[in-house]
A and B are shown apart, each in its own frame.
Chain A
Amino acid sequence: MAKLIKLDDKGVEFLDKIMELSGETITLCDQCGTCSGGCPFIAEMDVNPSQIMRQVMIGQKNIMESKTMWICASCFTCTVRCPRELDVSKVAEALRQVKLREAIDFIDIEKISEEEARILPSIAIVGAFRKFTG
């Protein structure tokens, strides 16, 4: 069943906030799909990168509940291909930040086994914590 969407000022505020945080002019997105087609993580995502751009553009805050922004690993594949030179990785980071600044963490150090902690390179651990905690 089609979803009924209302366009309202809250949505515009959301867009403005994400545009400011990311520094990207999201309204420039042409919805060409290049980012989604090239994203190496696409199989793990519930919402495609191009959809993220679209949903933010029309102010759909529920995009915050999607997995995608946590899956995006800032690999910059889309960054170097987007015909509009938009940087989806920055938009994903902005969305993460909005969540993380509500003091919600997305990683639990307790869950990493001792064995893993021993072999994991420090860049992996530091990187993950910087991306998943506020």
Chain B
Amino acid sequence: MKLPYFPGCTLKTTATNLEIPALEVAKRLGIEMIELDRWNCCGVVSYLVSDDLMKHLAPVRNFLRVQEMNAKGIVENENRLVTLCSMCYNTLSLSNKRMQKNPDDLQKINDFMHREETKYDGSVEVVHLLPIIRELGWEAVRKQVKKPLKNIKVASYYGCMLLRPKDVGIDDAEDPKILEELVSALGGETIDWDSGSRCCGSYHTVNNKDIVVNLSKGIIDDARKNGADVIITSCPLCAFNLDSRQKDIMEKYPEFESMPVVFFSQLMGAAFDIEKEKLGWEANYISPEILFNY
């Protein structure tokens, strides 16, 4: 299966440890993710007011690239655009839904982009890699597992952007299961906890670090209380807030005990036993030692 792929800015800078293992595990599952030619930043957060139409331009331009890939035969009849970063997934999806629901808006955007050779026809479907894997079936994942995650207890952290609002969520907004199913397929243990979709503080990390420190601490403490060894996520911003910000948590709360936070792709990579260099452990702030030798 060949899929057009939108990486987004962060995967090329601070979150290479999300992308590199993801591309490798996808390949082993028979999914070839082909990076869009000339992609541009999606804008990170979606604009929510009614009169900010032009702010949706950035996402829509990327959809043109998908149409072009199809036209050039790089992918065959593939209207799905796959993403890895939860924020990009959400922003692209929300813009896309708005275009699909409001032909007038789409028309305006197309008119504005008159220099583009193609017009966006509303046909693209923004997807995240996780549901693509779910569609393949967990059995397919199980088959690729070389080193089952025996005795490792994993807290699945969804954050906000994979689940909400409901019409772009990849799973039930209040009772998601997809990460837990993945962990089970990898041979790991899941925990049942209440913080899996509680916000980590998001972009407040830039100028209101304290909010993030408090929220992240609450999430990690809850994971610990429920017996987790490691937290997984698919969002580079959540990862930063939960992982790198542990430094700040420890400064404020000296008794705080750290916990590794890794990307779902790294966890899959470990279980698939992919090349060590591709796992990108060095990019994690809290070293996930429990995953080195188990």
Give me the interface of A with B, judged by CB distance under 8 Å.
Answer: 20-23, 40-41, 43-44, 71, 73-77, 79-80, 87, 89-90, 93-94, 97, 107-108, 111-112, 116, 119-128, 130-132
- B77 CB to closest chain A CB (Å) equals 31
Q: Give the number of chain B interface residues (Cβ < 8 Å).
A: 44
CB-contacts of B164-184 with A (<8 A) = 164-166, 173-174
**Which one of A22, A40, A120 has the greatest number of beta carbons of chain B within 10 Å?**
A40
Q: Which residues of B contact A23 (CB under 8 A)?
A: 49-50
The stretch of B10-18, B20-28, B111-119, B265-273 in contact with A is B10-18
* Interface status of B290 (Cβ within 8 A of chain A): no
Q: How far is the CA of A73 from the CA of B44 in the complex (A)?
A: 13
Q: Are B237 and A75 in contact (CB under 8 A)?
A: no
Question: B236 to chain A: which residues have CB within 8 Å?
Answer: 121, 123
**Number of A-B residue pairs with CB-CB distance less than 8 Å in the complex they form:** 127
A26–B177 CA distance with the chains assembled, in angstroms? 33
- Complex formed: what's the CA distance from A107 to B204 in Å? 11
- Judged by DSSP, the binding face of B is loop
Q: How many whole Å from A130's CB to the nearest CB in chain B? A: 5
Q: Are B207 and A77 in contact (CB under 8 A)?
A: no
Known contacts A107-B207, A123-B87; A97/B49 CB under 8 A: yes
Within 8 A of A (CB), among B74-112: 85, 87-88
Known: A123-B44, A127-B87, A131-B45. 13 other contacts (CB 8 A): A44-B211, A71-B204, A73-B201, A73-B202, A77-B197, A77-B199, A90-B49, A97-B49, A119-B244, A120-B14, A123-B10, A126-B41, A130-B43
- Minimum CB–CB distance from A86 to chain B (whole Å) comes to 12
A residues in contact with B206, CB < 8 Å: 107, 112, 116, 120, 124-125, 127-128
Set of chain A residues within 8 Å of B240, measured between Cβ atoms: 119-121, 124
Contact of B173 among A44, A80, A97, A127 (CB under 8 A): A80
A127 touches B202 (CB 8 A): yes
Q: Are A124 and B203 in contact (CB under 8 A)?
A: yes
Closest to B169 in A: A80
